[in-house]
Amino acid sequence: MTDKNFGAPSTGVERPAPRKRPSLLAWIAGPVVILGLAGGFWLVGGRYVDTDNAYVQADRVVIAPQIAGRVVEVAVRENQAVRAGDLLFRLDAAPLEIAVARAEAQLASVRSMLDGARNGYRGAAADLRKAEAELAHAARQLERLRDLRARGLIAQQALDDAANAHATARATRDADAAALAKAENLLGGLPESANEGLPGYRLAQAQLAQARLDLDHAVLRAPVDGVIGKQGLQVGEFLAVGQAAMPLVATGHPWVDANFKETDLTHVTVGQPATIEVDTYPGRHWKARVASISPASGAEFSVLPAQNATGNWVKIVQRIAVRLELEDEPGAPVLRPGMSAEVTIDTGAGNARYARLFGRRSDPQAFALGAH
């Protein structure tokens, strides 16, 4: 049997097709393309800075009594939502009501005392006027009798009696003047003033106001809208002044604290836009803006700051907190304090590497200005 095409005998076995040798152009173009893509990504990079060291934060209030007392009612439970002004718990008000009654009685007593002192002042003033009139009369009588004695018209005994009467009138006038001064002192030196202008009365009023304020503090209410945190307050428990009773997490506007490496903040400034993704809601993004930048690293605010002047010093890149305010988004999922988040800040097109390489460098003091 011969091959129809070539006229040669067929062996029955097909020869393998010759293997194509890779062209030199492919060997060169492949790495060039890869390097070009990598270089392109590198050139457009530098505009965005990101970190996963970020957490949702919100205002938190520790509810604590301003007076000491025994708990008689707990009106909320753990994880309960409350509105501002809602009752949280009550303290025993009986001792405080007694203190209010005592202060009211004290104020009434001071008022009566001042009224009596004012009447006493008026009586002392009248007695002094009478004593001064009698002293003036005794002085005139003494002068007349001295003239008559000088002319020998009266006995010495009459002159001595007149002198004694004059001395007695003077002593009475001095005693009445002292009584008037005492009555004036009881009125704080202001005998014609109303009770509300006298120190003793104002002191009694302040004591009554303090007693009533303490009574009001026996009822503790929510200062803001929020949710009660973990608490185990029980009826019958005694609370001291300032003792933490329960936490309240405000349901107001939350924010995110992101702890960036110091080397990432070169071009970060206040007001730059940011994108936030919370681990609890993957794929859901929140828009935000840089609200403020901490004036110091987190290590500076620690209880035991690092001693970088020691001989075993090792350089560690520090973290600086950046606060990001979330934009209002109706219908957005609830964010709870402590949730982990990932933050990406857009520092602007001018901070991309290609822009900096071609002379459009941003302000080198951007970070320093942003911290203020």
Q: Is 96 exposed, middle or buried (0-12, 13-18, 19+ CB in 10 A)?
A: buried
Dist CA 305 CA 293 (whole Å): 20
Please determine, for residue 117, whether its predicted confidence score (pLDDT) is greater than 50: yes
The rounded distance, in Å, linking the Cα atoms of 115 and 256 is: 64
pLDDT band, residue 368 (cuts 50/70/90): very low
Q: What is the pLDDT of residue 316?
A: 87
Of 250, 262, 249, 252, the residue nearest 53 (C-alpha): 262
Of residues 123 and 272, the one with the higher pLDDT is: 272
The residue-averaged pLDDT of 87-101 equals: 96
Give the pLDDT band of residue 279 (cuts 50, 70, 90): very high
Residue 370: band (very low, low, confident or very high) from pLDDT cuts 50, 70, 90: very low
Instruction: Decide: 278 and 286 in contact? Cβ < 8 Å.
Output: yes
Tokens of 87: 């009752």
- pLDDT, tens digit, for every residue of 200-232? 888 999 999 999 999 999 999 999 999 999 988
> For residue 366, what pLDDT band results from cuts at 50, 70 and 90?
very low
| Interval 171-202: pLDDT, tens | 888 887 887 777 777 666 666 667 777 778 88
> Rounded to whole angstroms, how far apart are CA atoms 271 and 126?
79
Share of the chain above pLDDT 70, in %: 81
SS3 call for 113: helix
Helices and strands (H, E) in the chain, number of each type: 6, 14
Q: Which residue has the higher pLDDT, 338 or 305?
A: 338
Buried b (16+ CB within 10 A) or exposed e, 229-241: bebebeeeeebee
> How high does pLDDT run on average in the chain?
82
Report whether 323 contacts 256 (CB < 8 A).
yes
User: pLDDT (tens digit, 9 = 90+) per residue, 54-79?
Assistant: 999 999 999 999 999 999 999 999 99
Q: What is the three-class DSSP state of 162?
A: helix
Alpha-carbon gap, residue 71 to 218, rounded angstroms: 9
Predicted local confidence at residue 257, as pLDDT: 96
Q: Which residues of 320-358 are buried (b: 16+ CB within 10 A; e: fewer)?
A: bbbbbebeeeeeeeebeeebebbbbbebbeebbebbeee
According to the model, what pLDDT value does residue 124 have?
Answer: 73
- Give the residue with greater pLDDT, 364 vs 264: 264
What is the chain's alpha carbon radius of gyration, rounded to the nearest angstrom? 47
**Res 365: pLDDT:** 45
| The pLDDT of residue 258 is above 80 | yes
pLDDT at residue 137, rounded to an integer: 83
Q: How many CB atoms lie within 10 A of CB 65?
A: 19
State mean pLDDT over 146-158.
78
Q: What's the mean pLDDT in 267-286?
A: 94
Q: Do residues 215 and 91 make contact, with C-beta atoms less than 8 angstroms apart?
A: no
Residue 193: partners with Cβ closer than 8 Å, 6 or more residues away: 187
